[in-house]
């Protein structure tokens, strides 16, 4: 099994190109970035069919040139060949090498009646560099929701503290916020988010900055910003670096629901400098269920010179009271405290570590570029067939894109208000086609709309091919006609 992995190891980090991939990375980045030009040209770019067609074609050709490489990656997974799995935003799939480890460790543990006490320092040390942080800043959590609880419920809130967030948040973050409202009397201020392609990273900066200023003018005590990047509804990547500038300018605690970030985006979290980023281990990172990666700022860096917020662990069996640091050296291993809570399921976390190892070997940037190129291709195809207005995900501002694509596929655009029809579309994409497509729908509050829109959401990942996307688009086009 290890053979599967080693065949793909990027041994060329020093510069020479791994077969069929890196030589094209710059080309991908150029095309992905070319959307920014389209965004600044606005409606003019939208009128130009020639531009849209060439971008699609160029992406397609580049992706096809690397087909062999990603086919080998696909072979590292045990995915059912009768289906195409495009709901990674909900659940990933463990690579064989991680499954084998998980399996053998579970058996060894049963045979020897082993326990799982500890804080997994060695494992955190292995995984942390892939996320740009030190081991004391990377904790293993149970999932995104658990990480959001650690972050939000561990902070020291006062009645009247305001958290500025959005109206596109997931229950995983909403629930601890609601508990903090009930328990500590905090207030939540929600910014209604735009949808579609006609938006820019600067808009998000203005939306948050203005809301914070308005609240402060009203005498409110704004203490934190919390937002999903990307949102689970439209896949819009809220621009973390830009929003961190807003958080720092207003001296706010920063909490990012990054459920979809590990395994999709190759971000450096020390550089970004948020106080908390809660991500899933079991989605794009393809670790076992019940795993998550929680990044906690635990020292002062130039990227975020604000003092560390007062924070206490809420789920641990290993803690002694210690002050948080006021300089660049950590006073205690906060990630050890979060990770250590009684006897752990060590095979599960080792499965996650193994999967992270596969990602590090393939190259996190390489995976990010492939994921973004694939979804850019899908978005262009949707724009060509359905029209760009049907996209709820942005496609042209490179700062706002992710590998999640949401859109309205229906012949009659108003059917997007019909939750049952949207559900039927999802069901039939799996049942009526061979291969069947595993996708989902999601409700989206849209500014000015009388009720939520029920859009189709597609997540494409490192096992997806251009051919899979072409088949998906053809099936969706066919199904929307059949459904009328
Ligand atoms: C943005 C977002 N946050 C939180 C969650 C909850 O994830 P988990 O199951 O890892 O707790 C999800 C799940 O889809 C999500 O999309």
Residues 197 and 194: their CA atoms lie apart, in Å, by 9
CA angle 240, 275, 316 (to 5 degrees): 135
Q: What is the pLDDT along the chain (484 residues), one digit of tens a residue?
A: 333 444 454 433 333 444 556 557 778 788 788 776 565 544 444 444 445 458 999 999 999 999 999 999 999 999 999 999 999 999 999 999 999 999 999 999 999 999 999 999 999 999 999 999 999 999 999 999 999 999 999 999 999 999 999 999 999 999 999 999 999 999 999 999 999 999 999 999 999 999 999 999 999 999 999 999 999 999 999 999 999 999 999 999 999 999 999 999 999 999 999 999 999 999 999 999 999 999 999 999 999 999 999 999 999 999 999 999 999 999 999 999 999 999 999 999 999 999 999 999 999 999 999 999 999 999 999 999 999 999 999 999 999 999 999 999 999 999 999 999 999 999 999 999 999 999 999 999 999 999 999 999 999 999 999 999 999 999 999 999 999 9
Place of tokens 């909900």: 90
236 CA to centre of ligand 1 in angstroms: 15
273 CA to centre of ligand 1 in angstroms: 21
Residues in a beta bridge with 311 = 155
Residue 337 sits in the same domain as residue 413: no
**Residue 146 CA, closest ligand 1 atom number:** 11
Predicted confidence at residue 6, as pLDDT, reads 44
Residues 232 and 280: their CA atoms lie apart, in Å, by 13
Residue 7 belongs to what domain range? 2-93+363-483
Candidate from 176, 232, 237, 288 with most ligand 1 atoms within 8 A of CB, to mutate: 232
278 CA to centre of ligand 1 in angstroms: 9
Which helix (DSSP H) or strand (DSSP E) does residue 162 occupy?
strand 161-166
Residues in a beta bridge with 458 = 405
29 CA to centre of ligand 1 in angstroms: 28
Residue 471 sits in the same domain as residue 401: yes
Residues contacting 474, CB < 8 A, separation 6+: none
Could you give the C-alpha distances from 108 to 16, 111, 115, 124, 347, in angstroms and in order?
41, 5, 11, 22, 10
Residue 146 sits in the same domain as residue 205: yes
258 CA to centre of ligand 1 in angstroms: 8
Residue 84 sits in the same domain as residue 122: no
Which helix (DSSP H) or strand (DSSP E) does residue 257 occupy?
strand 253-257
Residue 401 sits in the same domain as residue 474: yes
Residue 351 sits in the same domain as residue 236: yes
- Which tokens go with 358? 């596969």
For the chain, what is the domain count?
Answer: 2
Domain stops at, among 361, 378, 404: 361
Q: Whose CA is nearest to atom 4 of ligand 1?
A: 172
400 CA to centre of ligand 1 in angstroms: 19
Residue 342 sits in the same domain as residue 287: yes
Candidate from 143, 146, 280 with most ligand 1 atoms within 8 A of CB, to mutate: 280
Identify the residues whose C-beta falls under 6 Å from ligand 1: 89-90, 143-145, 170, 172-173, 228, 232, 257, 259, 280, 292
Residues 448 and 359: their CA atoms lie apart, in Å, by 42
User: DSSP states of 194-213 as a string?
Assistant: P-SSS--HHHHHHHHHHHHH
Residues 98 and 353: their CA atoms lie apart, in Å, by 8
172 CA to centre of ligand 1 in angstroms: 6
**Residue 228 CA, closest ligand 1 atom number:** 1
Candidate from 149, 151, 172, 227 with most ligand 1 atoms within 8 A of CB, to mutate: 172
**Residue 232 CA, closest ligand 1 atom number:** 16
Residue 399 sits in the same domain as residue 326: no
Residues 369 and 402: their CA atoms lie apart, in Å, by 10
Say if residue 251 is preceded by a cis peptide, omega within 30 of 0. no
Predicted confidence at residue 2, as pLDDT, reads 37
Domain stops at, among 303, 334, 361: 361
Predicted confidence at residue 191, as pLDDT, reads 98
Q: Whose CA is nearest to atom 1 of ligand 1?
A: 232
Domain stops at, among 339, 361, 383: 361
Write the CATH number for 114.
Answer: 3.40.640.10
Residue 424 sits in the same domain as residue 387: yes
259 CA to centre of ligand 1 in angstroms: 5
Residues in a beta bridge with 454 = 443
Residue 354 sits in the same domain as residue 274: yes
Residue 331 sits in the same domain as residue 381: no
**Residue 231 CA, closest ligand 1 atom number:** 1
- Which tokens go with 401? 């894109």
Q: Which long-range contacts (CB under 8 A, 24 or more apart) does 383-390 make?
A: 383/52, 383/197, 384/52, 384/53, 384/56, 385/473, 385/477, 388/46, 388/196, 388/197, 389/196
Could you give the C-alpha distances from 213 to 164, 166, 216, 240, 446, in angstroms and in order?
11, 16, 5, 19, 24
Residue 445 sits in the same domain as residue 355: no
Q: Judge contact between 263 and 402, C-beta under 8 A.
A: no
Residues in a beta bridge with 413 = none
Residues 186 and 160: their CA atoms lie apart, in Å, by 5
Per DSSP bridges, beta strands 453-459 and 440-444 are antiparallel
Predicted confidence at residue 338, as pLDDT, reads 98
């Amino acid at each position: 099994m290890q053979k599967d992995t080693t065949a793909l190891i990027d041994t060329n980090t020093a510069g020479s190109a791994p077969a069929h991939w890196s030589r094209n990375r710059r080309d991908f980045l150029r095309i992905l970035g070319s959307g920014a030009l389209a965004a600044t040209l606005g409606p003019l770019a939208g009128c130009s069919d020639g531009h849209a067609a060439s971008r699609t074609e160029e992406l397609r050709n580049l992706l096809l040139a690397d087909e062999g490489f990603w086919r080998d990656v696909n072979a590292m997974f045990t995915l059912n060949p009768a289906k195409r799995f495009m709901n990674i935003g909900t659940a990933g799939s463990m690579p064989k090498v991680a499954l084998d480890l998980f399996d053998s460790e579970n058996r060894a543990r049963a045979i020897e009646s082993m326990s799982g006490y500890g804080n997994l320092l060695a494992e955190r040390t292995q995984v942390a560099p892939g996320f740009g942080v030190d081991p004391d800043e990377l904790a293993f959590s149970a999932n995104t929701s658990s990480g959001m609880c650690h972050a939000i419920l561990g902070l020291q809130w006062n009645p009247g503290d305001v958290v500025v967030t959005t109206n596109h948040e997931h229950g995983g973050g909403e629930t601890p916020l609601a508990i903090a409202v009930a328990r500590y009397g905090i207030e939540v201020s929600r910014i209604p988010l735009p949808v579609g392609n006609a938006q820019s990273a600067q808009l998000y900066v203005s939306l948050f900055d203005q809301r914070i200023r308005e609240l402060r003018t009203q005498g409110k005590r704004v203490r934190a910003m919390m937002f999903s990047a990307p949102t689970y509804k439209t896949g819009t990547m809220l621009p973390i670096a830009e929003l961190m500038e807003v958080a720092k300018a207003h001296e706010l605690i920063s909490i990012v629901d990054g459920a979809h970030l590990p395994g999709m985006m190759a971000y450096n979290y020390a550089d970004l400098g948020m106080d908390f980023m809660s991500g899933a281990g079991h989605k794009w990172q393809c670790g076992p269920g019940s795993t998550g990666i929680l990044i906690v700022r635990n020292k002062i860096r130039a990227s975020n010179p604000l003092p560390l917020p007062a924070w206490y662990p809420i789920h641990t069996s290993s803690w002694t009271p210690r002050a948080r640091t006021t300089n660049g050296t950590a006073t205690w291993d906060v990630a050890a405290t979060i990770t250590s809570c009684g006897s752990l399921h060590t095979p599960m976390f080792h499965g996650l570590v193994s999967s992270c190892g596969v990602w590090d070997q393939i190259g996190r940037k390489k995976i990010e570029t492939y994921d973004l190129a694939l979804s850019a291709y899908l978005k262009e195809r949707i724009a060509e067939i359905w029209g760009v207005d049907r996209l709820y995900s942005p496609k042209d501002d490179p700062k706002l894109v992710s590998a999640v694509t949401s859109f309205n596929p229906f012949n009659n655009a108003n059917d997007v208000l019909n939750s049952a029809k949207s559900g039927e579309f999802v069901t039939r994409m799996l049942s009526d086609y061979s291969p069947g497509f595993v996708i989902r729908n999601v409700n989206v509050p849209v500014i000015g709309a009388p009720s939520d829109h029920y859009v189709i959401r597609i997540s494409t990942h490192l096992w997806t091919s251009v051919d899979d996307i072409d088949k998906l688009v053809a099936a969706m086009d066919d199904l929307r006609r059949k459904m009328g």
